[in-house]
C-alpha cells in the first residue's frame, strides 16, 4: 500500500480523495486518525456505525477526544439518542440537506472533515448528485478553512457505482486516471482544483 | 417448502442469493426495497426475510415495525460493533445479522438454523 501522509497532501490541497482497497480500509482509517490526532475532526460516516468506529479506534489506541462523529447509518435501524461526541442523522437525507447540515456544523471550527465514504453515498444518490455534493462541500471547506478527507472504496462493484466508473483519458488528468468516477467536465475541472487524489493501492515504495 | 423473501436494492445480490437458495430447495421471492417488501408480504407469507439495512426509500426500522409474522435476518455491508449487533437482535422478529460479503455455505447454514432445519 502506498504510504499515506495526509497532512502533507493537504498542505497544498483543500481536500483529498483516498482510494482505498477494501482489505486495507480499517488500517487506513486508523492510520489517518493517528496522523490527525490532536486536531479537531468532524467524521461523517455512512460506512461504519458510530459504535463500530469507536470500537475500531479504541482497539487501536487512537485518541478520540477531538473527534465529533456524524452517523448516517444507525438511525436507519433504530432510534438512538445523540451522544456527546456523536450526532445521528437520517441516511436517506438529500445531498442538499446534507450539505446544509454540514455547512452549519462546520461553523464549529473543525480542522478536518472526514467523509466516509463517497462510495456509500451511492446507496441513495445519483452520480450527478454526488458530483454536486463534493463540489459544494469543498467550497464550504474553503470558506471554513477546513481540510477535507473523502474516502472512496477502490474496486467496489455495484450498478449505481458502475455508472460513475469512467476512466478519464484527458492528458491534463493523466495522473488522475485511476479515478473511480469520471463525471461531467465541470466536475473534472473542479477536481483539478484543490483536490488531491491519493490511490492507496499504488505500489510506490514507502 | 419454506419461503424466503430477499430484499436488497442491488440486483446482483438479489439474483445471486435467489439462485443459491432455490438450488437448496427454498421458494424465493425478491423485493427491491422496503416498500416493495411490504407489498410482497400481502402476496405471500415468507418464513424468513433477508433484509438489506441500507436501501433507498422507507427506513428499515419502519419496515421492520410493519412485519408481523416473519423472521428477519439483516443483511449488511455496513459494519457495526458486536454490542450493537446484540442490541439489534433484541428487536422483535430480528433473528440474525449477516455481514456482506458473506460466504455462501455460511449463509445457507445460518438460514438452516433460523428455519430449524
pLDDT tens-digit series, residues A44-101? 999 899 999 999 999 999 999 999 999 988 988 888 988 999 999 887 777 888 888 8
Q: What average pLDDT does this structure show over A103-125?
A: 87
Please give the grid coordinates belonging to residue B1. Answer: 417448502
Mean pLDDT rounded to a whole number for chain A:
77
Residue from A114, A117, A185, A107 nearest A140 by CA: A107
Q: What is the mean pLDDT of chain B?
A: 90
Cβ-Cβ contacts under 8 Å, A47 against chain B = 78-79
The three three-digit cell numbers of residue B59, written as one number:
427506513
pLDDT-derived band at A181, boundaries 50, 70, 90: very low
Calpha distance B10→B16 (Å, rounded): 10
pLDDT of residue A34: 93
A178 contacts A191 by C-beta, under 8 angstroms: no
Q: A116 with A29: CB under 8 angstroms?
A: yes
Chain B residues whose CB is inside 8 A of the A46 CB are 78
Q: Do A123 and B55 touch (CB under 8 A)?
A: yes
State residue A2's pLDDT score.
Answer: 54
- pLDDT of B106 above 50: yes
Q: How distant is the Cα of A177 from the closest Cα of chain B, in angstroms?
A: 27
Q: Does residue B114 register a pLDDT over 90?
A: yes
Handedness of CA B80, B86, B89, B95 (dihedral sign): positive
Q: How confident is the model at residue B20 (pLDDT cuts 50, 70, 90)?
A: very high
The more confident residue out of A71 and A1 is A71
pLDDT band at B113 (very low <50, low <70, confident <90, very high): very high
- pLDDT greater at residue A117 or residue A199: A117
CB contact under 8 A, B61 and A55: no
The answer on pLDDT for A122 being more than 50 is: yes
Separation of alpha carbons B30 and B26, rounded Å: 12
> How confident is the model over A164-174, as a mean pLDDT?
34
pLDDT at B3: 95
Provide the 3-class DSSP secondary structure of residue A154: strand
Predicted confidence band of residue A13 (pLDDT cuts 50, 70, 90): confident
In terms of Cβ atoms closer than 10 Å to its own Cβ (0-12, 13-18, 19+), residue A120 is: buried
Does the ipTM exceed 0.90?
no
How large a percentage of chain B has pLDDT more than 70? 100
Q: Report pLDDT for A167.
A: 31
Q: How far is CA A105 from the centre of its chain?
A: 16
Beta-carbon separation of A51 and B10 below 8 A: no
Q: Which of B28, B39, B27, B34 is nearest to B8 (CA)?
A: B34
* Candidates B81, B83, B88, B94, partner chain A, best to mutate (most A CBs within 10 A): B81
pLDDT (tens digit per residue) in B44-87: 889 999 999 888 888 899 999 999 889 999 988 788 888 888 88
Using the predicted structure, report yes or no on whether residue A173 has a pLDDT greater than 60.
no
Cβ distance A77 to B60 less than 8 Å, yes or no, reads yes
Q: Give the pLDDT band of residue A156 (cuts 50, 70, 90).
A: low
* Torsion over CA: A93, A94, A100, A103 (sign): positive
Q: Is the pLDDT of residue A162 over 60?
A: no
Tell how far CA A44 is from the center of its chain.
Answer: 8
A65/B contact by beta carbon, under 8 A: no
At residue A194, the pLDDT reads 64
- In this prediction, residue B35 has a pLDDT band, given cuts at 50, 70 and 90, of very high
Give the best-scoring range by mean pLDDT among A128-137, B56-65, B107-116. B107-116
| Distance between CA atoms of residues A102 and A44, nearest Å | 9
Starting at the edge strand that comes first in sequence, how are the strands of the sheet with B71-76 ordered?
Answer: B27-31, B3-7, B48-52, B71-76, B94-99
Give me the DSSP letters along A17-68: EEEEEGGGHHHHHHHHHHHTTTS-EEEEESSB-HHHHHHHHHHTT---TTEE
List CB contacts (< 8 A) between B81 and chain A: 49, 51-52, 54-55
The whole-angstrom distance between B66's CA and the closest CA on chain A is 13
- Cell digits of residue A125: 444518490
The answer to whether A52 and B80 are in contact (CB under 8 A) is: yes
Contact residues, chain B, for A155 at CB < 8 Å: none
Q: Which of A64-78, A124-138, A150-164 has the lowest mean pLDDT?
A: A150-164
User: What does the alpha-carbon distance between residue A145 and residue A114 come to, in Å, rounded to a whole number?
Assistant: 14
Amino acid at each position: 500500500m502506498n504510504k499515506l501522509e495526509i497532512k502533507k497532501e493537504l498542505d497544498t490541497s483543500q481536500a483529498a480523495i483516498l482510494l482505498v482497497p477494501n482489505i486495507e480500509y480499517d488500517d487506513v482509517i486508523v492510520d489517518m486518525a493517528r496522523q490527525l490526532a490532536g486536531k479537531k475532526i468532524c467524521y461523517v460516516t455512512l460506512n461504519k456505525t458510530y459504535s463500530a468506529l469507536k470500537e475500531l479506534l479504541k482497539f487501536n489506541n487512537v485518541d478520540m477526544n477531538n473527534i465529533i462523529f456524524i452517523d448516517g447509518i444507525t438511525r436507519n435501524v433504530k432510534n438512538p439518542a445523540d451522544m456527546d461526541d456523536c450526532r445521528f442523522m437520517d441516511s436517506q437525507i438529500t445531498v442538499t440537506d446534507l450539505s446544509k447540515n454540514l455547512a452549519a456544523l462546520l461553523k464549529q471550527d473543525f480542522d478536518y472533515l472526514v467523509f466516509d465514504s463517497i462510495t456509500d453515498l451511492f446507496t441513495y444518490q445519483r452520480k450527478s448528485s454526488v458530483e454536486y455534493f463534493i463540489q459544494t462541500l469543498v467550497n464550504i471547506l474553503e470558506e471554513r478553512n477546513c481540510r477535507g478527507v473523502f474516502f472512496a472504496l477502490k474496486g467496489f462493484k455495484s450498478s449505481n457505482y458502475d455508472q460513475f466508473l469512467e476512466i478519464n483519458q484527458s492528458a491534463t488528468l493523466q495522473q488522475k486516471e485511476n479515478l473511480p468516477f469520471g463525471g461531467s467536465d465541470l466536475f473534472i475541472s473542479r477536481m483539478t482544483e484543490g483536490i488531491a487524489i491519493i490511490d492507496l493501492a499504488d505500489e510506490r515504495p514507502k | 417448502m419454506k419461503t424466503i423473501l430477499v430484499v436488497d436494492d442491488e440486483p446482483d445480490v438479489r439474483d445471486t442469493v435467489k439462485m443459491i437458495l432455490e438450488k437448496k430447495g427454498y421458494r424465493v421471492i425478491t423485493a427491491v426495497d422496503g416498500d416493495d417488501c411490504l407489498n410482497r408480504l400481502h402476496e405471500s407469507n415468507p418464513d424468513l426475510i433477508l433484509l438489506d439495512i441500507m436501501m433507498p426509500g422507507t427506513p428499515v426500522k419502519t419496515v421492520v415495525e410493519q412485519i408481523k409474522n416473519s423472521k428477519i435476518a439483516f443483511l449488511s455491508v455496513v459494519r457495526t460493533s458486536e454490542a450493537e449487533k446484540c442490541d439489534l437482535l433484541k428487536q422483535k422478529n430480528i433473528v440474525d445479522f449477516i455481514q456482506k460479503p458473506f460466504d455462501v455455505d455460511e449463509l445457507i447454514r445460518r438460514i438452516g438454523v433460523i428455519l430449524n432445519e
